[in-house]
Amino acid sequence: MERRTQQERRETTERALLTATADLVVESGLRSVTLAEVGRRAGYSRGIVTHHYGSKQALVEALVKASQAGFVPGVDEVEPGLERVLVLVEGYLGAVGGIGSLSRAFLVLWAESVADPDLGPVFRERDALFRADIVGDLEAGRDAGDVRGDVEPAVVAAIVVAELRGLALQYLVAPDSIDPVAAGRALRAHWQAALGV
C-alpha cells in the first residue's frame, strides 16, 4: 500500500474538518460550531482544528470559500458573456436539488450573516465578488453585441444574485415548494429574453 504524502494527509484532514463544520451548521446553525465539536465530529482533536485554521472565524471563512468552489458545473468553460450568465442561472438552480452539506451550510450561514457581525463582512465580500463576475459577463456580452446596450449590469447582477440565493433558500426550507431545475430553465428563458438583442 502506497503511503500518502503530507499534502494528501493535510487535504484529507481539511476536507473532514470542513465537512464536520458544514454538518454542524446545517443541523443547528453557527452557534453549534466549536473547534472541539468540529474535531470530535471529524475524528480529530480540537488541537488539529486549531492547527489548521487557528480560529472559528477562519474555519467558517474556509467553509464559505470551499462551498462555492465548482458549485455550477461547466460555467468556467463558458466564455464571458450572456451565455455564461444563462449557464450560471440555470446551472446554479439545477445544482440546488443535489447540494451537499457544504453548500447547504453556505446558504444557512448566508441567512445568518444578516444578524452576525462576524459573518456579515464575509458574505458581503462573497456576494460582491458574485455580482462582479456577473457584471463582467454582462459587459462582455454587451461588447460582443449579445446584451442590449440599455442593460444596467450592476442592477441585473444584484437581481440575479437575489433570485438565485432566494430560490435556493426556499428550496432548503420547503423542498416541495419549488422545482429548482424548472426554476432554472424559467430564469434562463427570462434573462435571455430580457437581456438579449
Is the model's pTM score more than 0.75?
A: yes
Residue 1's pLDDT is what?
62
Cell triple for residue 187?
A: 430564469
pLDDT, tens digit (0-9, with 9 covering 90-100), for 68-77: 877 788 899 9
Evaluate whether the domain defined by 68-195 bears CATH number 1.10.357.10. Answer: yes
pLDDT, tens digit (0-9, with 9 covering 90-100), for 93-135: 998 888 888 888 999 999 999 999 989 999 999 999 999 999 9
Domain ranges of the chain: 6-63, 68-195
Evaluate whether the domain defined by 6-63 bears CATH number 1.10.3720.10. Answer: no
Does residue 80 register a pLDDT over 70?
yes
pLDDT, tens digit (0-9, with 9 covering 90-100), for 148-193: 999 999 999 999 999 999 999 999 999 999 999 999 999 999 999 9
Distance in Å from the first CA to the final CA of the chain: 59
